[in-house]
Amino acid sequence: MAETSRTFRVGAVIANGCAISADTGGSWGSIDLGSVNGVDGGAAQGSLVTAVAAGLQIDCTPGMSVTLTADNGSQPSNGVRQLVHATRPADRMPYQLFANGSQTPWTSQAIALAFPLGTSRLSVPVQARAVVQRSVAAGRYSDVVRITVTW
């Protein structure tokens, strides 16, 4: 009886990639600054909360490095993010974002994130702060900020 054998190779290529945990509407969540007395003014702050966790949840291939950037929101003024009154667009309130525990406002600078081997998920806390000036019109103020993940 004759017999012969050969081998063949099996392989795969793992591509770098990222997935973003988002709410059902496709957004990354929201920041609620609460309610502030419009006569007295004062500080308002809040943190990003999503349906899945607090902060920006990012899953990437281990070993990757990525950057996060934030735009100036949907209606900035002179490069400053603005909360805009729901029915009176001329009424605005400036605010700042802070990310990853920094005390420096997150403006146009990129935030670098590394996913070391063995780590595929990172959470980046994001806070917003506004100082409400006296005599601000009552009502709901809002803005929309676009975050871009680049790798």
The domain total for the chain is 1
pLDDT at 52: 67
What pTM was computed for the model?
0.84
Mean pLDDT, the chain, as a whole number? 90
36 confidence band (pLDDT: 50, 70, 90): confident
- Tell me if 3 is assigned to some domain: no
Domain containing residue 26: 18-150
- Tell me if 12 is assigned to some domain: no
- Tell me if 6 is assigned to some domain: no
Encode pLDDT of 64-92 as tens digits.
Answer: 999 999 999 999 999 999 999 999 999 99
For residue 116, what is the domain's CATH number? Answer: 2.60.40.1090
- Tell me if 2 is assigned to some domain: no
Going across the sheet that includes 82-85, the strands are 92-94, 82-85, 141-142
130 has pLDDT over 90: yes
- Tell me if 108 is assigned to some domain: yes
- Tell me if 7 is assigned to some domain: no
Please state the separation of Cα 143 from the chain's center in Å.
13
